[in-house]
């Protein structure tokens, strides 16, 4: 990379070239391409002598970009950078210094004197020929999820330098793949997503030196590094070095910095040609690159601004000899990379050149455990209207740690408002997650970025600038009136008996998302099983809505007499109706005590039943009988048959044991009506003596009562009070319990007195 040689050497080369023209069988060496080498190197033919070709990676290779997370930076001692810069780098990350054994103590002393953070310095012992570690240092890749190195034939006859890739493969104990291409790091930049940039030196050298054509160069760059497309441009400098980092630089996957010369400069048009190429070429995210221009004065005025080093969230920019241009260059970096620290660096005693500065003499070492946010399908430009926008991204935790599922997020801002978050969930494709941006209007401006974190503590965003320079898109104007229909089928539900279940289906056949706000039934006869509302019904989606006929008792009498009820479906595009047809036979509700417990052979249980029918004014009670057994004495007032009138007319049922058979007995009482047969379950406890004793000693007073009453007894443990429909209205514990019934409905209540041994005695209580 360095262009120091004597005038004598130049004259010698010119003479040699002229003599070569007269030699008919002698191959002419390419002195024009070699003129920047030392005199000894010009005659050295040892390029690639130790190179070993291998098959390409079997996994998917990803060539990591300079602006991705770095664990460290490589330099070589003796230095090509000032020790003050080494001190700055050591406060950013680990510094890996290549140094021979004999010079390590000298390097350590120099660093300590310069205030270098020695805790962040690692010496790697190896012989080198030069300090241009950018050119000969390892090309770090991930092969699937594992770090590896790709080695190439270094385009300089410097065998020690050419061995450094192998030195670091051993140092890290990671695989190294040998790519049989002549190349150099200064002529390679990559975006970490498969795009790469070089100038056409890569084609010229490989064809001339090894007979490798352009097609093979591109194929090998893809096989070993995952580079496709490979942007190969002219060299706008037309200089000896022909390295891309002397005139351009990736700042982000969609941002490229390119130098700009005054129009009076003869090379002006070539720089503009390269800039125009990238301004009209799509980046990996699908839109043309944002091209930033940094002004250079041209000529011999020092301005090495594109030869900078991006290291985590800091950019180290080599400063030139003109303060005005220096300040302008810093400003361009600040505009292009918001949130980064931009540090101007003077060359010190080593000095910079326009074609050889800070970048050429350093090389980043990727973070082997980084978290990679790979949101490829970036949303940009004007989007066709849809109710929500899916943001799909892969999250690769190279550390092997689990992703923090609650920290996979899309941050988005609508029309300049505060940022909101949408949690991302797995799509089913490995490592892929999706989150949805919602809540915008037609012609809204939306900014967004993707964030992820893993359990190892690694975090990353795309874009890396987050809310300072997010992804951006606009939504097209939205016509609120949708086309198509919201279809509900069937439009009528028929309910014959209490407990019947019916359902209808809502299908969105419009061209927009329809929000279902509420589903209600006016009559109060049905219970609904609806989705959580409000619910966004996507285009083409359907949902089922179920209803249950909710009257508690069924009567078995056929009838063609129905009542209709209206089910209303309120949506964002209007109201829809479904008719519910309900048979009146299912609406009889005869209320009674549906279970009786006998724990005392002398006990008389009195219950009542009455008509709560909605549409039937009279229920005819034909008979009340014991079913299958003959244990009970049943008396009614009035005696069947009789009519129970609507508005709550009541009949009383008194039941006592006729005869007690030893052993636990279950029987039942049937109430036959003109609307069906209803049943009361009767349970008789065999432990009569225990219950009899509890019944005898327990007291309930006053009875009847108009307010407070008391239950007490030496063996009483608990008191439960039920109404005649079996609902518990009160519960208390203790040997003496006072209960206030002043607010209760007037009528008959059953008081279960529970003894300490579990026996139960039931007494009737009248509340007036």
Catalytic residue annotation: 360
Nearest to 333 by CA among 345, 350, 322: 345
SS3 560: coil
Burial class (CB in 10 A: 0-12, 13-18, 19+), 226: buried
Instruction: Extract the tokens encoding 259.
Output: 């130098």
Instruction: Extract the tokens encoding 653.
Output: 């049922």
Q: Are 694 and 761 spatial neighbours (Cβ–Cβ below 8 Å)? A: yes
Contacts of 323 (CB under 8 A, 6+ apart): none
The H or E element containing residue 271 is helix 268-279
Nearest to 400 by CA among 361, 354, 444, 431: 431
Residues 683, 338: Cα–Cα separation, whole Å: 82
Cβ count within 10 A of residue 298: 18
3-state secondary structure 354-415: CCECCHHHCEEEECCCCEEEECCCCCCEEECCCCEEEEEEEEEECCCCCECHHHCEEEEEEC
Q: What is the DSSP letter of 587?
A: G
523-527 long-range Cβ contacts below 8 angstroms, 24+ apart: 523/563, 523/565, 523/566, 523/580, 523/582, 525/495, 525/549, 525/550, 525/551, 525/565, 525/580, 525/582, 525/587, 526/495, 526/550, 526/565, 526/567, 526/580, 526/582
β-bridge partners, 580: 493, 565
Instruction: Extract the tokens encoding 345.
Output: 């660096």
3-state secondary structure 294-361: EECCCCCCCCCCCCCEEECCEEEEECCCCHHHHHHHHHHHHHHCCCCEEEEECCCCCCCECCECCHHH
β-bridge partners, 643: 620
Q: Are 452 and 407 spatial neighbours (Cβ–Cβ below 8 Å)? A: yes
Q: Are 554 and 498 spatial neighbours (Cβ–Cβ below 8 Å)? A: yes
CA distances from 290 to 254, 277, 362 (A): 6, 11, 26
The H or E element containing residue 170 is helix 164-172
Nearest to 292 by CA among 304, 307, 306, 303: 306
DSSP helix, strand, coil percent of the chain (3-state; round to 5): 20, 40, 40
201-210 vs 214-225: helix crossing angle, rounded to 10: 110
How close are the terminal C-alpha atoms of the chain, in Å?
A: 110
DSSP 96-165: EEEE-GGGHHHHHHHHHHTT--GGGEEEEE---S-S-HHHHS-EEEEETTEEEEEEEEESSS-HHHHTHH
């Amino acid at each position: 990379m360095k262009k120091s040689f004597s005038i004598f050497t130049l004259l010698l080369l010119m003479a040699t070239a002229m003599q070569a023209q007269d030699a008919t069988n002698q191959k002419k060496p390419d002195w024009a391409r070699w003129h920047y080498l030392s005199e000894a190197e010009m005659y050295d033919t040892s390029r690639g002598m130790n190179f070993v070709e291998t098959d390409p990676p079997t996994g998917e290779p990803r060539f990591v970009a300079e602006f991705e997370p770095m664990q460290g930076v490589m330099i070589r001692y003796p230095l090509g950078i000032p020790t003050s810069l080494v001190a700055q780098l050591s406060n950013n990350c680990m510094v890996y210094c290549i140094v021979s054994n004999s010079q390590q103590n000298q390097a350590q002393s120099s660093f300590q004197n310069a205030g270098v953070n020695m805790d962040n310095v690692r010496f790697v012992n190896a012989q080198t020929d030069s300090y241009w570690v950018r050119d000969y240092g390892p090309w770090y890749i991930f092969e699937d999820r594992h770090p590896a190195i790709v080695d190439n034939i270094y385009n300089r006859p410097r065998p020690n330098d050419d061995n450094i890739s192998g030195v670091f493969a051993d140092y890290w104990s990671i695989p190294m793949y040998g790519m049989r291409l002549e190349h150099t790091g200064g002529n390679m930049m990559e975006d970490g997503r498969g795009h790469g940039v070089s100038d056409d030196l890569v084609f010229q050298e490989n064809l001339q030196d090894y007979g490798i054509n352009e097609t093979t160069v591109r194929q090998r760059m893809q096989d070993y590094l995952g580079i496709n497309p490979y942007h190969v441009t002219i060299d706008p400098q037309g200089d000896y070095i022909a390295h891309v980092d002397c005139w351009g630089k990736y700042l982000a996957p969609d941002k490229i910095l390119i130098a700009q010369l005054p129009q009076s400069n003869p090379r002006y048009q070539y720089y503009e040609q390269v800039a125009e190429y990238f301004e009209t070429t799509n980046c990996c995210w699908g839109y043309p690159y944002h091209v930033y221009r940094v002004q250079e004065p041209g000529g011999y005025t020092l301005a090495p601004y594109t030869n900078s080093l991006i290291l985590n969230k800091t950019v180290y920019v080599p400063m030139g000899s003109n303060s005005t241009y220096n300040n302008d260059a810093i400003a361009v970096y600040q505009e292009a990379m918001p949130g980064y620290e931009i540090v101007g660096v003077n060359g010190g005693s080593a000095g910079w050149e326009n074609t050889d500065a800070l970048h050429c003499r350093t090389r980043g070492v990727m973070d082997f455990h980084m978290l990679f946010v790979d949101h490829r399908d970036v949303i940009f430009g004007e989007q066709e209207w849809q109710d929500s926008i899916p943001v799909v991204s892969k999250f690769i935790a190279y550390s092997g740690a689990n992703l923090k599922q609650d920290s996979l997020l899309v941050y988005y801002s609508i029309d300049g408002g505060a940022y909101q978050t949408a949690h991302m969930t797995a799509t089913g494709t490995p490592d892929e997650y999706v989150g949805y941006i919602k809540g915008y209007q037609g012609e809204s401006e939306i900014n967004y970025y993707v964030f992820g974190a893993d359990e190892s503590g690694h975090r990353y965003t795309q874009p890396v600038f987050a809310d300072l320079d997010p992804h951006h898109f606009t939504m097209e104007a939205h016509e609120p009136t949708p086309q198509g229909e919201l279809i509900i089928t069937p439009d009528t539900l028929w309910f014959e008996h209490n407990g019947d279940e019916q359902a209808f289906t809502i299908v969105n056949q419009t061209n927009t998302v329809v929000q279902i706000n509420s589903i209600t039934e006016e009559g109060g006869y049905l219970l609904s099983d609806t989705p959580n509302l409000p619910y966004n019904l996507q285009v083409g989606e359907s949902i089922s809505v179920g209803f249950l006929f909710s009257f508690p008792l069924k009567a078995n009498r056929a009838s063609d007499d129905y009542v209709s009820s209206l089910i209303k479906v309120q949506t964002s595009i209007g109201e829809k109706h479904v008719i519910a047809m309900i048979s009146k036979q299912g609406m009889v509700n005869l209320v009674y005590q549906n279970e009786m417990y006998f724990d005392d052979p002398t006990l008389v249980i009195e219950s009542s039943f009455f008509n709560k029918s909605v549409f039937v004014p009279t229920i005819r009670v034909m008979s009340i009988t014991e079913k299958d057994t003959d244990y009970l004495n049943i008396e009614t007032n009035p005696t069947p048959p009789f009519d129970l009138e609507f508005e709550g007319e009541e009949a009383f049922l008194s039941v006592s044991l006729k005869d007690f058979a030893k052993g636990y007995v279950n029987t039942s009482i049937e109430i036959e009506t003109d609307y069906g047969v209803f049943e009361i379950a009767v349970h008789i406890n065999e432990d009569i003596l225990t219950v009899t004793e509890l019944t005898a000693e327990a007291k309930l007073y006053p009875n009847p009562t108009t307010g407070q009453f008391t239950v007490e007894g030496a063996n009483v443990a608990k008191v439960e009070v039920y109404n005649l429909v079996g609902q518990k209205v009160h519960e208390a514990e203790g040997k003496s319990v006072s209960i206030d019934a002043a607010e209760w409905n007037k009528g008959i209540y059953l008081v279960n007195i529970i003894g300490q041994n579990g026996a139960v005695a039931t007494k009737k209580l009248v509340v007036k």
